[in-house]
Amino acid sequence: MSLSVLAIESSCDETAAAVVTAEGEVLSNVVASQIATHAPYGGVVPELASRAHLQAIVPVVRQAIGEFEAKVPGGRLDALAVTNGPGLVGALLVGVQTAKALAMAWKLPVVGVNHLDGHLLAAHLRLKGASEQPPFPFVALLVSGGHTALYRVDGPLDRTLIGQTRDDAAGEAFDKAAKLLALGYPGGPVIDRLAAKGDGRAHDFPMPMLHRKDLDFSFSGLKTAVARHVAKHGVPEWEGALDMAAPPPALADLAASFQRAIVEVLAKKAIRACVTQEVPHLVLGGGVAANRGLRARVSELAEKAGVKVYLPPLAACTDNAAMIAYAGAQRFLAEGAQPFDVFSRDPGRIRGRFRQDGTLIPRR
């Protein structure tokens, strides 16, 4: 019988628990979203997130265990895993304390998992609609609310940062643009749906860093361009609830043009990374990897470049505990359980400039 790991994820605004085997088979997968709690504020409020995690954590873990027992009668857990960073410290502590308490009560080992390793390995989960598991090494484009980076991944625990954003994350840019257009939080999914109805060439928004040879990104200028456009022309208006099937054309065009600018840079640089690394396998991960425009454009460019793309199903792109369980199982198999604390920023997230070949020039 394969190793089964129960994982908890509480780094941001999703409380999640899942049981997954070391081979990536998902035996249960529960996600409780706090979107409704944070929506009125246009972003995640850390204090509210911690409280909401505290309310949700026990029911969510119970449900994940219940679904596991229903699927595998008499099944046993071999280890626990929990996201211990990066993320909001107060939110992380809720998951970590719960995992450590359960480990003590059940006399099971508990492993701390880096949230980013979870996203980078999400394509390995054997979920409905998933492609085959990507072979190592692969290049990964990790695009979420907090991170936008390119990695070379040589093994489950072996990743090298080869490019990253110098300012805003891609998801942050989606969320800020949506806020400017009065579309609510989170912005990515709404802009994604609107963009499908609009003309991406209607507005000439900047595509920052597109023609630079390095693998860096920058999205704050794009956000400023949207802010300037709104200051000059106002926000397109609509009456009543926004009809997603037939949105105001001016609004759809703005969303489509904004999305095209982001997608073009992300897709081109991801393919460039595969070429410079001479690695013909590309994995997408993080909430923004759910974006339909990005998935389509990456697939199109990859085919031309002879690169194979691995797209996790949408539910594996956004935050979940299944990816943490899988990453935790790999870590446990490689090095067993070790003591751990929480951390807010990724220790491997070195800030710096990149050479043309993708290597880093560290900043002093």
**Which of the listed partners (ligand KG4, Zn ion, none) does 288 bind, with a CB threshold of 5 to 8 Å by partner kind?**
ligand KG4
Does residue 3 contact residue 333 with C-beta atoms inside 8 Å? yes
Whichever of 79 and 252 has its CB closer to ligand KG4, that residue is 252
Q: What angle do CA 145, 317, 214 make, to 5 degrees?
A: 60
Q: What angle do CA 245, 234, 189 make, to 5 degrees?
A: 35
Whichever of 28 and 291 has its CB closer to ligand KG4, that residue is 291
Q: How many residues bind ligand KG4 (CB under 6 A)?
A: 19
330 counts as binding ligand KG4 under rule CB under 6 A = no
User: For ligand KG4, which residue of 24, 163, 171, 328 counts as binding (CB under 6 A)?
Assistant: 171
**Which of the listed partners (ligand KG4, Zn ion, none) does 312 bind, with a CB threshold of 5 to 8 Å by partner kind?**
none
Binding mask 301-320 for ligand KG4 (x = CB under 6 A): -----------------xx-
User: For ligand KG4, which residue of 88, 127, 284, 288 counts as binding (CB under 6 A)?
Assistant: 288
**Which of the listed partners (Zn ion, ligand KG4, none) does 163 bind, with a CB threshold of 5 to 8 Å by partner kind?**
none
Distance CA 271, CA 344 (A): 30
Virtual torsion, Cα 316, 258, 166, 155, nearest 10 deg: 30
Q: In the chain, which ranges are E strands? A: 4-9, 14-21, 26-33, 79-85, 110-114, 138-143, 148-155, 158-164, 281-285, 308-310, 352-354, 360-362
If you write DSSP's letter for every residue of 103-116 in order, what string do you get? Answer: HHHHT--EEEEEHH
186 counts as binding ligand KG4 under rule CB under 6 A = yes
Stretch that binds ligand KG4, among 121-129, 186-194, 212-220, 231-239 (CB under 6 A): 186-194
Distance CA 300, CA 309 (A): 10
**Which of the listed partners (Zn ion, ligand KG4, none) does 188 bind, with a CB threshold of 5 to 8 Å by partner kind?**
ligand KG4
Stretch that binds ligand KG4, among 68-76, 143-151, 212-220, 305-313 (CB under 6 A): 143-151
The partner residues of 352 in beta bridges, in order of sequence, read: 362
Whichever of 12 and 181 has its CB closer to Zn ion, that residue is 12
The structure tokens listed for 352 are: 């710096």
Binding site for Zn ion (CB under 5 A): 144, 319
Site residues (vs ligand KG4, CB under 6 A): 12, 144-146, 171, 174-175, 186-189, 192, 286-288, 290-291, 318-319
